Amino acid sequence: VDTTKKVRIFWTTNLITQEERSSMQAVRLHKVLEDGPKILHLLKGIRQKSSLAFESQSQCKRINGLVTRAMEELHSIEDAGTFKHERILESPQSTLVNVSLPNDETKTRTVLNFCANNYLGLSSDPRLIKAAHDALDHRGYGLSSVRFICGTQDIHKELERKIASFHSTDDAILYPSCFDANAGIFEALLGPEDAVISDSLNHASLIDGIRLCKAQRHRYKHSDMLDLENILRETHEIARNRLIVTDGVFSMDGDVAKLKEICDLADIYDAQTLVDDCHATGFFGKTGRGTPEHCGVEGRVDLINSTLGKALGGATGGYTSGPQALIDLLRQKSRPYLFSNTLAPSVVGASLETFRILNESNEHVEKLAKNVTMFRSQMQNAGFKLAGDANNAIVPVMLGDARLTSEIADDMIEEGIYVIGFSYPVVPKGKARIRVQLSAAHSIDEVQKAVDAFIEVGKKRGIIP
């Protein structure tokens, strides 16, 4: 391994400790690559001095075939420019956060946060924190059990009832996450005689869940109703039951599934529907009931899967809400429900408070809608190209070029606005964008600051006149 490669491998595999990175004054990766030999020399010096001395001998022994292959793959991810770095927050989740800087992760800066799924601004709401404390005091820290052994408390049942009532369905079943709800639903409800018909841009967890089941699998082109209808026609005689599966809001583009047309097709062809409404529940639609409400098909979607980990407090947890027999069957067969630990009481307590707040007033939903309208109209007037549904809190600012997008995201942090750029392979080539996510907790002034920063950076980079 040549020296440069070695340094790169150390860097990408975290063999360089945080302390060493600080000592090196957080030299940026490209700098490390350029200065490979020099940096390695520097590292050696640091390691000799450091109390966390690098045990190269034992480290070498652990480098087996699997590790080597992992290093090579990490290396190619780095080369492709798609290596994901975690940016460290040193504050609670909020509209204002302390975040490490892109070019020097030893330093943090207080910035306005426009990239969390904190749509209702409840993530650090004092009422949820108090409810979580109360649940900790009265129901303990953890249950050390799956639901059906001894992991179900009265509050779990109460939360399931609240969720079902919020969606106007018979019942709901809680999971540790919506990823689990999506992983566990298909195998439990569908057999080889059935068919699942899925939008091509559905979330990874739906794709994985579908892979786990034995049903026939079909994929229709994203939001293409003709393609969906063709598949429904073709599978009419072949499949016992057909389940049409779609995200409610597609999180990369901010567009909404055509639920009215999907439900109409489901009626015509005697199929059922499942909507993953993670990016809509609690805030989208007039009263926050999600995409079925927005599209005017409340009561026509058979199954709703969603998360407690975004708008509804943002901690963790997911659920399926739907007809009694299906929820009952999930409790008997769904593997993440049967074989993974129950939701922590503090999360359940805070989630109950979330639904209490949502049922009490529509204030958060309305405030978010105002912020979305203000941001979208000002950005459009300034000349930016935006994607997605006009009402949705996800606002992709379309920029095209991947490098430009990442530079603009860095510029925005400098301007005190935290946004993230997305490029290939997360989105198609040439369609890089910055995804802005608005929150009910943003003040008018904060939304204005974000728009002003975009205008400043956009002019500097020649994106807008």
CB 303 within 8 A of CB 184: no
179/418 with CB nearer ligand PLP: 179
**What is the closest distance, in whole angstroms, from the C-beta atom of residue 310 to ligand PLP in the complex?**
7
The CB-of-284 to ligand PLP minimum distance in angstroms stands at 13
Residue from 53, 49, 46 nearest 25 by CA: 46
User: Smallest gap, in angstroms, from Cβ of residue 126 to ligand PLP?
Assistant: 23
DSSP label of 86: P
| Number of chain residues interacting with ligand PLP (CB under 6 A) | 14
Q: How far is the CB of 317 from ligand PLP (least distance, A)?
A: 7
Closer CB to ligand PLP, 290 or 421, in the complex: 290
Q: Is there binding between residue 435 and ligand PLP (CB under 6 A)? A: no
> Are the beta carbons of 141 and 344 closer than 8 angstroms?
yes
Q: Which is nearer to ligand PLP, 209 or 458 (CB)?
A: 209
Report the distance separating Cα 262 and Cα 277, nearest Å. Answer: 15
Cβ closest to ligand PLP, residue 23 vs residue 392: 392
Q: Please state the closest distance from residue 204 (CB atom) to ligand PLP, in A.
A: 8
Instruction: Determine the 3-state secondary structure of 331 from DSSP.
Output: helix
421 binds ligand PLP (CB under 6 A): no
- For helices 178-189 and 204-211, what crossing angle results, to 10°? 30
The interface region with ligand PLP, picked from 123-131, 178-186, 352-360, 379-387 by CB under 6 A, is 178-186
Question: What tokens were used for 294?
Answer: 């927005």
**Residue 253 engages ligand PLP in binding (rule: CB under 6 A):** no
Q: Given the residues 203, 310, 364, 431, select the one marked as catalytic.
A: 310
Note if 279 is an active site residue. yes
Report which residue type is found at 238: I
Residues 114-133 binding ligand PLP (CB under 6 A) are none
* Per-position x/- string for 58-97, each x denoting binding to ligand PLP as judged by CB under 6 A, each - no binding: ----------------------------------------
| Chosen residue from 205, 321, 405, 437 binding ligand PLP by CB under 6 A | 205
> 95 or 251: whose CB is closer to ligand PLP?
251
Q: Which stretch binds ligand PLP (CB under 6 A): 173-181, 187-195, 360-368, 370-378?
A: 173-181
Strands (E), 30-143: 96-101, 104-113
Under rule CB under 6 A, residue 318 binds ligand PLP: yes
Which of 120, 163, 178, 453 is the binder for ligand PLP (CB under 6 A)? 178
The one catalytic residue among 223, 251, 340, 423: 251
Cβ at position 160, least distance to ligand PLP in Å: 16
Which region among 134-142, 174-182, 218-226, 350-358 touches ligand PLP (by CB under 6 A)? 174-182
Measured from the CB atom, the residue of 4 and 124 that comes closer to ligand PLP is 124
Is 310 catalytic? The answer is yes
Binding status of residue 307 toward ligand PLP by CB under 6 A: yes
Q: Could you tell me the two tokens for 366?
A: 């309305």
Does 405 interact with ligand PLP (rule: CB under 6 A)? no
- According to CB under 6 A, which residues from 259 to 278 bind ligand PLP? 276, 278
From the CB of 328, what's the least distance to ligand PLP, in Å? 22
Confirm whether 30 is a catalytic residue. no
CB of 311 to ligand PLP, least distance (A): 11
Asked if residue 302 binds ligand PLP (CB under 6 A), the reply is no
Distance of CA 406 to the CA centre of its chain: 19
Tell which residue, 309, 290, 232, has the closest CA to residue 264: 232
> Which residues of this protein are in contact with ligand PLP, per CB under 6 A?
177-179, 182, 203, 205, 247, 251, 276, 278-279, 307, 309, 318
Q: Mind telling me the catalytic residues?
A: 251, 279, 310
